[in-house]
Structures are given as C-alpha cells and as structure tokens.
Structure 1
Amino acid sequence: MRDTDTDSSTDSAHTDSIERRRRAVEVSGWGERFHFLQPHNASFWVYIVLTAIGVHQTWAYFAPEASFYAGGYAVAAILCLLCGVAWFLWLRHIDRWERQPGSLAVAAIVWGAIPGTFAFAMTANTAMLSIYPKLFGQEWAANWGAGATAPITEEAAKLCGFLLLMSLAPRLIRTANDGLIVGAFIGLGFGVFEDFLYAVNSAATNFGTDPAGNAAHMAITRIGASFVSHPLFSALVCSGAVYLIGTAAQPRRIGLGSMFVAAGVFLHFTWDDAVGLGAGNGFVMFGVMIASVILALTMLTIAFRRAAPREHRFVRDILAPEVDRQFLTDADIDEVLDPDVRKARRKSAPNRAARRADAHLRTAILDLAHDVARDDGADTHAVRHSRSEVRRLRTVADLARTP
C-alpha cells in the first residue's frame, strides 16, 4: 500500500511539473518562431510601406554626392559596419533567456536603420532645427536644439518600430527583457546608420581634400562613444513600453514603465546637450558626460535586474520535468540563474579549467531549456542531443574538479 501511495504521489508530481512547463511555454512564448511575411496583418504592410519610404529618402540623400566622395563613403561604411557587427554579436551573447530569432533581430535593425532614421527622425529633426534659430536665436539653437528635438523624435521613431514588431510577434515580445533586447537591436540599426551619416557628411569638410581621412576620423569618434548611445536609450524606452502596455507574461507596471521611458529620453538629452549643460566649460561638459555614462549603465543594470526574475521563473518551470525525473537538480538551475551561487561555485573551483567547464555546463542547461520549449516538451532529436551535452559536460566539470 505504501509503494502504491508513493507511486501515486510521484505520478502526481510529474503531472504537475509537465503542466508547469506547458503553462510557462504558453505564457512566455519561449521557442516561438517568427514569420515576417504576414500579408493578412496590417502592421506588416505598414512596416513595408514605411521601409520603402525610408529607402527612397536614403537614396535621395546619399546619391548626389556618392560619386564625388566614394572613398569616404567606403571607409565610413566599413568602419560603421564593423562596429555594427561587434554590437550585434554582443547583443546576441547577452540575449540569454528567450533568444530572439535572428529574423526578428534583423527586422528590428532594419527599422532602426531605414524607416526610423530617414522616414521619421531626419524629417522631424530637420524641420524642428530650422525653427529654433528663428524662435530662440542661433546661440540657444546651437546649445540646446539637439537635446530639445532628438530625444523626442528619435526615441518616438524607434518606439513606433518596436510597437509594429510587437504586433508582428505578439508571442515573442512579451516581457520587459524582450523589450530590452529588441529595443537594443532597433537602436543598433539607428545608431550605426547615424554614425555612417555623420561620417559621410564629414567627407566634404576642408573642401573635400581628404574625404577618406575625414570620414574615418568622424566614424572612429562616433564609434568611440557608441557604448552609451542609441542601443541603450531605446532598450530602456522599449522595456518601459512593455511595462506600460502589459502582456500575458508581463503585468502592467505604470510607474516602472514610465521611469524607464523617461530615463531613456533623459539620457539621450544629456548626451546630445552636454555642451549646453556644461555652459561652454569643457571640464564641466566632460563631467556631465561621465555622469551621464554612470547613470545610463546604472539604469540599464536596474532594468535587466528587474526583468530577470520573470525569466528565471520561466526557466524553472520549463525545466521542472527535468528536475522531476532527476536529470537535473534544483542546484543545477540555481547555478544558471543565481549570480551569488555562480560566484560561490567559481570561488570553489580549483583551476581555470574547472571554471570554464562549469560555464559550459550552465550554457548547456540553458540550451536544453530552449530546445524543450521550442519542441513543446517532446522527446525530439534536438532535446535528446541537449540532454546528452548536459551529461557530457557534467562529466567534464566533475573531472576538472577531481584532484
């Protein structure tokens, strides 16, 4: 009788863990595919039309002078593209939880680069910057015009793209963490194209005597400041938008969402108007920029930490059957999710090989969660392969710690 009760209890626990996994996958959207081609979705046609307008505007802007400064254009394109690739790889690296499909990341980058820049922001910025000198004078416009315009027009342009992508991928963009990652990709497209724009415009300086050198100098200058730029601003704004809207996976948090949106816009303002805030004093301006960098990185850290617990719960629920069948332990998952547990594990490692083996095992466990979610818990080839990798890497990690 006791054995029967035990078996019944085990079966009930296993059923509960499978239900936890099912609900987590359904609510989170982990493993969902992204299909850009959606002819029955009005947002798809809005995206296409605005991108076409952006392409036309881009060609009209660059084509007239491209043949005169071809060398400068080529140098600017290479440098900005290399910076963009580095940023792309970094964003893919930190996208640890529900990994956004590559096609969604590309759609976000394209929006930021083409319609966000040329169909929206440049048109609005040009109009506003031509009005300010007439209203407030040349000095005010030089010191404050950029900060009074770009944080609103540019963040709004990027946010419009984010909202379109939310409607194209409603099961993929559901949490604040999704907003951070997709927003960063939109900002990446915007920032790289803006850097390219500044670089090619500088090719004509000094009467065009050194277009390649001028373009390279400007591109390197812009790239040097890109670590606190559009990817960070739009990550905060788009994450805040998810909190403001609310989804099946992310309860609405008006205060928190408003704070992150305001932070993204304010940081954009301080970066664009550092000269005005510094009152013409180079030392003060440098201090403003340093303070802006510190505040920006602090806010980004807060945003990721506030978004993490929901993603952690999804990981635990998706892997609950793996724990139930004793393939994984709660300690294994704690090491993947809890920074303090990881830190203690690293400290206890006898050598670098052990630390590296532990890191590979954590990655394999997270890969298993992704494969399980993508295949709805079925015992597919991908899931079996992920399990075999966890077994192999656990053996490697144990051996690395053996004296």
Structure 2
Amino acid sequence: MLVLLLNGLYAVGQLLGVGFRVMPVAALLGLAAWALYTLAFVAVFRAMDLLDQHPPAGYVLAFAWGGLAAPHLAMPANHAIQSLAAKFVSPEFAAVWGPALAGPITEEFVKLAGVMLLILTARNQFRTELSVLIVGAMTGLGFQVVENLNYTLRSAMNFPSESQVLPVLGDLLTRGLLSGLWTHAAFTAVASYGLALFLFRRDRTRAQRVGMAVLCFALAWAMHFVWNSPWMEDWFSDDLAGLALLLLAKGLPVLLAVALIWRAATLETGAYLHATAASLVPERDLLRDDEWLRLGSPLARWRVRRDVGRAYGRRARRLKARLQRHQLRLVLKAGMFGRGPRTARHERAIRRLRARLDAIFPDVDCLCR
C-alpha cells in the first residue's frame, strides 16, 4: 500500500510541477480551490458526526488511496481499454464511449480495493455499516478531488484565452458545484455498502451476502457508466444552462440512491449503538435517555446543537457538540474494547462537559429533551 501511495504522490507531484511551470496562477488557484472543496466535504461529515467512526489516520489513508494510489493504478488500465475499443470497433467509438467503458470498470475496482485493504488492516475498527460507508465516501472524495485538479490544470493549459482564472472557475462550477454530490464519492459509497452488507448481515447466507456485494458494485458501475456516457446529451442545449440540466438529470438519481443507502446504514448503525450503550454504558450521567435515543440519528443530534446555539449562543453549542462527540466515541470504543482505560478519558470528559453546561446554562438539558 505504501509503495502505491508513494508512486501516486510522485505522479501528482509531476503534474503539479508542470502546472506551476506553465500556468502558475491556474495551478495555485486550482490547488487552493480543490483544497477548500475538500474541507467543505469534511466539514459536512464532521457536522453529521460521521468522522467519529474511525481515528483521523483512517480517513487520511482513505483519502490518500483515492487521490494517489487509485488514479495511478486506473490510468494505464483506462488507456488500455480505450485502445482496445479503438482497435476492435473504431477510433470514433472509443472517443465517444471510451470513458464510459473504461472508467467504471477500473476506477470503481481500484477505489473499492482500497476500502477492502483498510478493512483488512483494521478490522476491529469497522463495527457498523456507516463505518464502511464513510471510508468509501472519503476514498471516492480523494479520487474526485485529484481528478478535478488534473482536469483543471489541463483545461487551463488548453484554454483559448490567456486567462488563468476562468478555467479554474469554470471547472469549480461544473465539476465541483454541479457534479460534486453525485460522482466518485457517491459511487464508492454505493460500492462500499455492498462490503458493509457482506460484513454485517450475518443472518444471511454467504451466497446471499456475496450477491448483495456484487449487486452494489454493479449499481455503482452502472451509475458511473451513465455519468460518463453520452446519453441524454442530445436532450439539452450546448450552453451552460443545458449543461447544468444534463448534469442534474444524470446526477439526481444517483443522489437519491445514495440517500436511501445512507438512511439504511444509519438505521443499522443506530440499532448497534443503542444495543451497545444499553449493555455497556448504563450510567445515566454519561448518557441520558434523550441522548440515548438520538445516538443513531446524526441529524437529530445536529438539530439539538442548532437549537442550543440559537438559545444560548456559540459557546453552548460548542460545548454540546463536544459532549455529543465524546458520548459517541465512548459507545463506539466500549463496543470495540469494553469499558476500561480506552474509555475512561471519554467518561471524564462527558462528566466535565456536563458540569460546565449545567453550571453556565442550567436549563440547557430541558431544551434538548
């Protein structure tokens, strides 16, 4: 894994080196734009308490695999498949359909391979379906960001005018805002859900679990195929509005499928957290009844933080957020290791934060119920 990551890092470094030599402004703006784009995704994941499923190193490795190793492995395979399409059908066919034929096969496989490697490396860290999905989403996000940076630099080099800003803004609009919610992060999350079903649906036979994993991979492949294909391009005009409508027509079904999968994974994760907390964290000063009920709902916990912030200000919201995160980490670690030294830090933090909230905002818990 380390060798593949280093090879990918070298390839990305070469790309950036060429970009800074030829188009320094575009390279700098593109790097900054896609870095901020990544941070926006991470902020959303953090706000929904999704990043508490694993240590930070797990997400760094997932993002690095998606952004460094996966493109390095997929690129030669993509070229080979498109060359075969040109040879056995025609160059025109390969130019139009090559991305749809090559990308879904190679890219979905190598991204999912990274998720599988991380699961094999730290199997004990993966206790819920959501823990697999968020790693898949981070892997896909890494691929998405590096691919977008690559396209940004190439479009800047081939831009018809001398502007180094317009191609960056154009790619950020089309590849970021209009495409960001339903491309690689979504595809890999769908494929990773198959792995989650294989790992955790022990009530099913092995053949059924393998079938569910294959079905999810096939769904991710089909989404990617349709996204890369020229289908529906004739339905819309060639201007920016037509492009936006085309991307929405292709992307909204993907977003709907991902939302349904995330909903199912959240329900499974909630059931696991409730059962774990009931058996291993019975103390009501650590986890009150209303907090126990919201363990399985990231959106419900976010609403509580929002209401606390509106009523008592940012300080109270930050304290409530820290309290919730320590509670979630306590339950997750108790499920992995049992109660002991690994959970004691979170127990102390919960009691300390609870005391601070009660002292500064005595009726804050009434608001949360």
Match among 156, 163, 166 for residue 213 of structure 1: 166
The letter for the 1-side match of 2:219 is A
The match for 1:115 is: 69
TM-score normalized with structure 1 length: 0.73
Distance 1:344 1:76 in 2: 34
Distance 1:340 1:108 in 2: 24
Displacement after TM superposition at 1:143 (Å): 2.9
Distance 2:91 2:153 in 1: 25
The match for 2:40 is: 86
Distance 2:35 2:88 in 1: 39
Displacement after TM superposition at 1:305 (Å): 2.2
2:248 counterpart of 1:290: yes
Higher relative contact order (CA 8 A, sep 6+): 1
2:225 counterpart of 1:269: yes
The match for 2:214 is: 258
The match for 1:127 is: 80
Residues 175 and 250, structure 1, Cα contact 8 Å, conserved in 2: no
Structure 1 residues 272 and 335: CA distance shift in structure 2, 3 A:
same
The match for 2:23 is: 69
Distance 1:89 1:340 in 2: 14
The letter for the 2-side match of 1:396 is D
Structure 2 runs not aligned, ≥5 long: none
Match among 348, 352, 357 for residue 384 of structure 1: 348
Structure 1 residues 397 and 187: CA distance shift in structure 2, 3 A:
same
Structure 1 runs not aligned, ≥5 long: 1-46
Residues 323 and 349, structure 2, Cα contact 8 Å, conserved in 1: no
The letter for the 2-side match of 1:293 is G
Structure 1 residues 140 and 381: CA distance shift in structure 2, 3 A:
closer
Give secondary structure in 2 for the equivalent of 1:67: helix
The match for 1:231 is: 185
- Percent identity, aligned pairs only, is 24
Give secondary structure in 2 for the equivalent of 1:83: helix
Displacement after TM superposition at 1:197 (Å): 0.1
Question: 1:133-148 maps to which residues of 2 (within 5 A)?
Answer: 133-148=86-101
Distance 1:320 1:214 in 2: 54
The match for 1:364 is: 323
Displacement after TM superposition at 1:380 (Å): 2.7
Match among 213, 217, 242 for residue 196 of structure 2: 242
Match among 128, 132, 138 for residue 179 of structure 1: 132
The match for 1:194 is: 147
Give secondary structure in 1 for the equivalent of 2:265: helix
The number of aligned residues is 350
Residues 67 and 142, structure 2, Cα contact 8 Å, conserved in 1: yes
The letter for the 2-side match of 1:264 is A
Distance 2:300 2:27 in 1: 50
2:186 counterpart of 1:222: no
TM-score normalized with structure 2 length: 0.79
Displacement after TM superposition at 1:79 (Å): 0.9
2:363 counterpart of 1:396: yes
The match for 1:317 is: 275
Structure 1 residues 338 and 122: CA distance shift in structure 2, 3 A:
closer
Displacement after TM superposition at 1:138 (Å): 4.0
The match for 2:293 is: 334
Residues 237 and 264, structure 1, Cα contact 8 Å, conserved in 2: yes
Give secondary structure in 1 for the equivalent of 2:181: coil
What value does the CA root-mean-square deviation take over the aligned residues?
Answer: 3.7
Structure 1 residues 266 and 393: CA distance shift in structure 2, 3 A:
farther
Give secondary structure in 2 for the equivalent of 1:114: helix
The match for 2:119 is: 166
Distance 1:340 1:64 in 2: 44
Residues 368 and 387, structure 1, Cα contact 8 Å, conserved in 2: no
Structure 1 residues 250 and 103: CA distance shift in structure 2, 3 A:
farther
The letter for the 2-side match of 1:387 is R
Match among 270, 280, 287 for residue 234 of structure 2: 280
Displacement after TM superposition at 1:319 (Å): 2.4
Displacement after TM superposition at 1:330 (Å): 4.0
Residues 48 and 299, structure 2, Cα contact 8 Å, conserved in 1: no
Residues 364 and 390, structure 1, Cα contact 8 Å, conserved in 2: yes
Distance 2:313 2:294 in 1: 12
Give secondary structure in 2 for the equivalent of 1:211: coil
Give secondary structure in 1 for the equivalent of 2:54: coil
Distance 1:340 1:95 in 2: 9
Distance 1:343 1:162 in 2: 28
Distance 1:218 1:285 in 2: 13
Distance 1:112 1:340 in 2: 27
